[in-house]
Amino acid sequence: MSNTIDCPTCGGKSKIIETNGENCFKVVDKVELLKKVIKLKKAMTKFQNEATLLEEELNQLKIKK
């Protein structure tokens, strides 16, 4: 995921792009930002589901002992 921060001049969300040793700010539109949030939510949900399955498996192994 790209490095996004608040733009120091306009206060909007922007990407930092370094060219020739200078930092430039490129505005991130709301659609692009929303897509990134959706991707993160999907990844977090997937991770949470896997963690839950592993926790259940661990509990079953503890019961068998």
Position 42, amino acid = K
Question: In Å, what is the CA distance from 20 to each residue of 2, 4, 8, 17, 23?
Answer: 18, 19, 20, 10, 8
Claim: this prediction has a pTM higher than 0.85: no
Per-residue model confidence (pLDDT) at position 45: 97
49 and 14 Cβ atoms separated by less than 8 Å = no
| Residues 27-63 pLDDT 10s | 777 888 788 889 999 999 999 999 999 999 999 999 9
Helix (H, G, I), strand (E, B) or coil at 45: helix
Residue 16 and residue 43: Cα distance in Å, rounded? 24
**Which stretch, 8-12, 22-26, 54-58, has highest mean pLDDT?**
54-58
Per-residue model confidence (pLDDT) at position 7: 77
Per-residue model confidence (pLDDT) at position 20: 84
How many structural domains comprise the chain? Answer: 1
- Host domain of residue 15: 4-64
Closest by alpha carbon to 28, among 13, 16, 38, 40? 13
